[in-house]
Structure 1
């Protein structure tokens, strides 16, 4: 059956099923009934229709759920304007919606409609007279469909009469070209390739081809199709109905040309306040005139990349500064373009908003106008439940270990040798490095296995009926083009050898045995596990090896090996091969790291070692949607990167929870910005090497701080146990011994342990001063925490403390202080080597409620449920316990009828059993090697109540410790916040 017929059948049946969905779940029998009705309309389809394929697709569509977006807004100076009457004749949006409904369920299309309505409504009415400017930020997930959102926004903005729409599409030609192609399909409706004499319609142009609404476009999909001198000269904006679209790189030369053209050909009014103050960037055009006739919308894709005014220079592979990509210059140019219009709107899109949050809201200059802080709104996009994000790939931490992750990650440890700077691809290698693996093979065993994994994934997808879909593999191990070339040659040789031996059946025994072993020991169990988790729409039927064997030769013939170096050709190949599906192994460096979508990504081999949240998250090309083949996907990466991805997975989840709660309580972007700026976890968003000690200003109000990394040095562990002993002796007799009880409306809760109430702040501060945290544990530094508590106590907050020593009844008893024993807790070690004992999570989620009243519990639960409801409901089951975030908010700030108690802090102690920090083997526990003979570990958590106080504590970051942890990050092109600039500004 042709794809057009299949799409038609799916569309008709989907429309027939929409009303049925209200009555209950969509079943295969119901779908079959509607297929019969559809085929009655077109009997000629009966012979060819693949009913099973249609049924599978519709089950997938109707089983996807998506929650509601959440927003922080500031409506000062804003006039509400968007209602249903304004949308009655919106043709750009209607044809885009009809196009996406071919691939998406109606529910998802409806959510996109509501989401883009909300974003557009928070901007200003383009028909509003006078002078206005709005700044907003849309936060999505990596590889989660941000492009669909801003394409919908472009369509609606054009319908609403925004006349000039500029899309800033990354730093490189391939991403710009990819964005241009998607906007051609979703908005323009025609190909912009100048080589065609006849207009070629694509996407929405095949749905509504009325030339009277054909948008103008000043850029093309070609490699050199960016806004340039030749294409700019003949352009002249006139007061016509059709909008103009510009898809441009964030490149100094391009933006200078665009700004000059706006000033020379579009601006119609001199600035009212006279000659602008000369700029420090003397080579940039000044804003001497303004455009008053046409409203402007700028959409900034990857808005945290290059747009933020950091003062950093982008460096090329030789370490030389490239003025073309100076982010300060880019920031100035974007703002000058906005400042050239009396009516303008700016919307940034990003999955990693940390840098944007750190922009100073009042960073306004005369020539540039306001900075790009999202002062009007921040919108958090909800992801469908079939989105594979960090929590799915890496799980979330819990006291029992990580939960919810799929078994698709494979640690790689053979890329460097024991001797520093040696091996196949050692960390910190230079531009002249020659990758050589040991033995007879050019490639290490891990990469050979990853390549075999990709070959099997392509083969199995073909057997599942996905042979005409794109399949991609990412190999990202070096940023140097010269090293990538050697690697490409070696991978080419490997693929050619497989093609010759397996395809021709010549001496293929070893190759086939290796593939068979990988399939049976890895693919079969992984598919079963993903199927059991109910993820990825994995087919229920298992394949047999003979089917794979028969299909392998054809798949190997289709495989291509490519280097991605920033040209548009690589991005265009997916479009050119959409009928048969491209099977490509993509080798690249930084140009693969951000924004560029690798269609049908199955296998990732990733070794680059940045530890910055936003850099790492953006490099996670493996996040996204994997319908029908999630179980075939693999991520091969280093243990260090696995550990860091787990860390940022937890931190990102925490940040989104904070955002949702603040949105529920009516906070503004500015309030959220201040919260994030003082958040101790966010210090790792900087990507600059700190060459001297820097001061960060941190606040712990409303935070939960817990020790999860401990030294393995026996003397240090013993000193911490002594500090705990002294604390409990100073605290005196416990208020509750052996068992701690609390009564809530939801029932009674019991803990095994002891509880002290009303302990003086000096006792807690003495404990923290005597406790030694690892210098590498930047967030949990006992001395900084002690100083913060002292400062808060000076303002009459955190003066009285509750201390809990908690354990388990099944744990081996340990006497921490005379007469005070507790059953030791078990927390699994993440590694049995090195000088650290690292765990996932210390606290059980309900432990924070150990000293709250029934009224506080009820108020926190109400806040938790309210926040959950506003995100949209997937099921009828609401949370039945309050979140820790809500508990801390209520404890400190109170709510209606509940008084806040910002003077009360909570310290919880645990004694961890180092002899049971590994796996259980039979009847015995395996002790990690680095904890051999170690005494128990005293761990603590501090739960700080929410506070309106602006108290912050300075934290000196030592350059040696910082560079040890984040040294490689400075090599990246990705631009984040320059901490010295940010914190100097904040302190002022």
Structure 2
């Protein structure tokens, strides 16, 4: 007899099929769903046993309320032949059984979107039956924890159906992630459990739908801790073109990839390289590409493609832009490229949520031994997220035109993990290996993590009472990268849970625990659930649980909670699978092993103190993004104010990057053009420089960019000097053109507090920038570099005229600029640590860039924004904002100024400089009393095709400063 869980899934799946068959899907109601349930039970009365009928209805209502965004693509058709049509897709059994398996878990809308999306990627690869040599390289960009694995599993199924014979999945750097990926591909593609003994194959996943052994793919790796590719595997492995496809799930590890390349050269390759492709003397100990595989088309899927795969060595190019073919790339990059170079028919698809480093790969990088670099020259696809995805834009919010941010009320700020100066305490930011976590001098947990654990206990209890007892529940504790410190934290958490368990079991000294939990329930959980239910009603708990219910379930709940350290072993990844059907309730304590790729099933509560400011690293650490069906309102993120601000800043930067992408898609640009555009992005410079730490030089163009100062000196003499430089500029400008500017738009009147000058010159702006002293840690904005760029643009007649805006907005009025100008200072909180400079998250409000425009320009920029816009839940603060935007975005405003539009001339001759005075008394600015305001500036550059660039150099001293400020590169 089928298990109750399986009955539930079967009924949901079949009822969904019946609902999809209805012509009018808008009339899907609980009554209609109940009617279809009755039909299904008539077919199989046994399924009615222990059926959670209300749960089936809730699940199908949730599924049918979803909507799916639209993917966007930048494509180059050079060397590509169209091939994928409906006739080629007939009788595709791998995809069909994967689709049927997904129907148990996903809505039909999500499955249709995945079908369409994976078709798009496959179509941009080559037909595996195409003769001759071909090579395609692409990048698929998803949102963090949004389902990239499901997307590439679909692609693998279709690629195998189409005729790709060798499929290699590069699955991270650690055993636990490789094992987790292997298990997921067993379920979605292989259809059987991979064990050391290959003769024993237990069916699972898609294998239970279609168990025909004639289509069982072969697999060279298994799910065990030692299941990666190795010499032992290579000795017993042989393939031929007639066999079923072969899957290799491997780590990005030098030893593993070397053995795989050896096997390809010694056992799979069938044709010697032509004399013209012969090799020079060996530069390293890695296997050389002496022969190629001509009969087996290759597909490489590179999961987390920005991590370890990118060549971080600087490649030299001559005056004509030709690469040095003797260049020696980094080892992992070298091996991946040599594997690709070993096949005459190959396709490479990278998957990542943080594509920054991939975009910085030189598009013409090539070497004799390795062939082309991994730049996604064929295509870049931005995957849209479904409406039930909870990502950075929802958790932390995006900056709107009024400069306000509105995220979900899930973040809880903590400040008791260290002493006020940040040097001591339970987990000071700069702690070292061997640190003993002490709170108030004792080996106790600080109150904030106790509250986080209490939140997890409450969440587990509510989910159990809501009918989700068999679902996984996880809590993440990520406070240190050192294993020795993690061990101490794990011990303290275990001790805390043991005491809670004992006191509740014996009813001794338990009143304090109950009182604490009840207060958290009444004061936090109930109002938060009510607030989120009004925003995301289809993702929240049922709302009918009382405190009495929770109290009755507490002991069983706490008894089920396990504490684990995540240390990179495969066992960590296997635990969820072993608890399938009962649900694992786990507090996972770890560091870097938790930071990338590894999914924590049913993650509810996170306690996160790590302070890396590298944009892609920090975003990848956000394991709490993803899908939270039926328990979103129960989720909590306990973190610092600084990290919360940084995540909001990253969300804004990532959104602007996608807006730039959309604009280029609308204009028909190629991946190469996008790469050149992104390489000068001021925010992404942090990632690019650290990911390419050996590259000392970078040519930058600031055209079409917005640059903001966010890091400032606290030395009074420098603050005074920058203020004097600003006063000199204002005095040279004379009387303002406008005071308190207003602009009429289709959205109403936009107003600013401040002054505007329209007749500034490049000389005046350059003098200001030459005189302004930026902080050494201001790697994104260097005033002298910007001044140099303006001079270079002046040579071609651009950026010769300037609009200067002095903008206020606070309550303190500063009177000493000159006799004409009095301005209000603005407030920006300090986000720096105790020994860091004064740093803020964001300076401009997005609407500020419109200060130099009129209603006609507003409408034209809005039209550009709308034309490029695609609905994507991963980029919305609120699903209620699904309609096209009603305000223009920054990239569209800058593009309009550079290109013009019907009836609007381009204004590439005009730049826009913003000046702000930051309030020195703002909390945390660390400025002494009587300090004058801190001058901040921003520059908005119109788009340009002039191609002018400036050289950005970094020396070794700056490297060390950079890494101290932003954290080590991965």
Task: Check the 8 A contact 2:137/2:348 in 1, yes or no.
Answer: yes
CA distance in 1, matches of 2:466, 2:928: 48
Aligned equivalent of 1:953? 950
Q: How far is 1:46 from its partner?
A: 4.9
Per the TM alignment, residue 559 of structure 1 is displaced from its structure 2 partner at its CA by 1.3
**How far off its partner does 1:746 sit?**
6.9
376, 380, 389: which one aligns with 2:382: 380
Residue matched to 1:519 = 521
Q: 1:7 aligns with which of 9, 29, 39?
A: 9
Partners in 1 of 2:691 and 2:218 — Cα distance? 44
Is the counterpart of residue 108 in structure 1 residue 105 in structure 2? no
Question: Which of the residues 343, 346, 356 maps onto 1:344?
Answer: 346
Instruction: Map 1:538-687 to 2 at 5 A.
Output: 538-539=540-541, 541-686=543-688
Q: Provide, for residues 479-502 of structure 1, a one-character-per-residue CA deviation record: whole Å limited to 9, x for no partner.
A: 333333333222222222211111
Deviations 1:289-333 (A, max 9, x none): 111111110111111111112259xxxxxxxxxxxxx98221111
Alignment partner, residue 906 of structure 1: 912
1:90 to 67, 89, 92: 92
Deviation at 1:505, TM superposition (A): 1.8
**Does structure 1 conserve the Cα–Cα contact (< 8 Å) formed by 2:777 and 2:965?**
no
* Corresponding position of 2:941: 944
- TM-score, normalised on structure 2? 0.91
CA pair 652-691 structure 1, distance change in 2 beyond 3 A: closer
Q: Where does 1:492-531 land on structure 2 (aligned, <5 Å)?
A: 492-531=494-533
Q: Secondary structure at the match of 2:399?
A: strand
Distance across 1 between alignment mates of 2:40 and 2:694? 70
User: Matched residues in 1 for 2:277 and 2:26: separation?
Assistant: 66
Residue of structure 2 equivalent to 1:851: 852
CA distance in 2, matches of 1:485, 1:843: 43
Alpha-carbon deviation of 1:879? 2.4
Give the match's secondary structure for 1:24. helix
The structure-2 alpha-carbon separation of the partners of 1:760 and 1:259, relative to structure 1 and needing over 3 Å to count, comes to same
Query: 1:66-118, CA deviations, whole angstroms, 9 ceiling, x for partnerless residues?
Result: 21111111111111111111111111111111111211111111111111111
Partner of 1:868: 869
Q: Secondary structure at the match of 1:121?
A: helix
Once the two structures are TM-superposed, the CA of residue 935 in structure 1 deviates from its matched residue by 4.5
Following superposition of structure 1 onto structure 2, how do residues 151-550 of structure 1 map, counting pairs within 5 Å? 151-195=153-197, 198-273=200-275, 276-278=278-280, 280-311=282-313, 328-398=330-400, 402-417=404-419, 422-438=424-440, 440-534=442-536, 537-539=539-541, 541-550=543-552
Say if 1:805 and 1:910, in contact at 8 Å, map to a contact too: yes
1:310-363 Cα offsets, whole Å, 9 max, x none, are 259xxxxxxxxxxxxx98221111111111111001111111111111212222
Give the equivalent residue in structure 2 for 1:886: 892
TM-score with structure 1 setting the length: 0.89
Structure 1 residues 678 and 539, CA, compared in 2 at 3 Å: closer, same or farther? same
TM-aligned CA deviation for residue 689 of structure 1: 10
Q: Unpaired segments of 5 or more residues in structure 2? A: 315-327
* Cα 1:621–1:307 shift into 2, 3 Å: same
How large is the RMSD of aligned CA atoms in angstroms?
3.1
Q: Secondary structure at the match of 1:851?
A: coil
* Aligned counterpart, 2:65: 63
SS in 2 for 1:681: coil
Indicate the SS of the match to 2:386. Answer: coil
Structure 1 gap segments, 5+ residues each? 313-325, 919-926, 975-988
Query: Where does 1:785-864 land on structure 2 (aligned, <5 Å)?
Result: 785-807=786-808, 820-821=820-821, 824=824, 826-829=826-829, 839-852=840-853, 856-864=857-865
Aligned in 2, Cα 1:969/1:278: closer, same or farther, shift over 3 Å?
farther
**Does the 8 A contact of 1:400 with 1:828 survive in 2?**
no
Which region of structure 1 is more displaced relative to structure 2, 283-292 or 484-493?
Answer: 484-493
SS of the aligned residue for 2:138 comes to strand
> What's the counterpart of residue 767 of structure 2?
766
For residue 244 of structure 1, report the CA deviation from its aligned partner.
0.9
Contact 2:686–2:779 (CA under 8 A) maintained in structure 1: no
Structure 1 range deviating more: 173-182 or 4-13:
4-13
Matches within 5 A, 1:12-51: 12-18=14-20, 22=24, 24=26, 26-43=28-45, 45-46=47-48, 48-51=50-53
**How much has 1:590 moved relative to structure 2?**
1.8
* Aligned-partner Cα distance in 2 for 1:4–1:819: 79
- For 1:690 and 1:288, the matched residues in 2 are separated by 30
3-state secondary structure, aligned to 2:366:
coil
With over 3 angstroms needed to count, the CA separation of the structure-2 counterparts of 1:650 and 1:958, relative to structure 1, is farther
Residues 821 and 125 (structure 1 numbering): CA distance in 2 closer, same or farther, change over 3 Å? Answer: same
Q: 1: CA distance between counterparts of 2:171 and 2:693? A: 32
SS of 2:381 mapped into structure 1: strand
Counterpart check, 1:877 vs 2:879:
no
Relative to structure 2, which stretch is displaced further, 577-586 or 248-257?
248-257
The CA deviation string for residues 225-254 of structure 1, in whole angstroms up to 9 with x for no partner, is 112233222222122252111111111222
8 Å CA contact 1:191, 1:200 repeated in 2 = yes
SS of the residue corresponding to residue 396 of structure 1 reads coil
CA distance 1:778–1:535, shift in 2 (3 Å): farther
1:134 is displaced (CA, Å) by: 0.8
Q: Any idea what the Cα deviations from partners look like across 1:884-903, whole Å, max 9, x if unmatched? A: 21111121123466432211
Any conservation in 2 of the 1:95–1:208 contact (CA below 8 Å)?
yes
Q: Is residue 143 of structure 1 aligned with residue 145 of structure 2?
A: yes
Tell me if structure 1 keeps the 8 A contact 2:828–2:919. no
- Tell me if structure 2 keeps the 8 A contact 1:687–1:970: no
Q: Is the 8 A contact 1:306 1:327 kept in 2?
A: no
Q: Judge which range, 793-802 or 17-26, deviates more.
A: 17-26
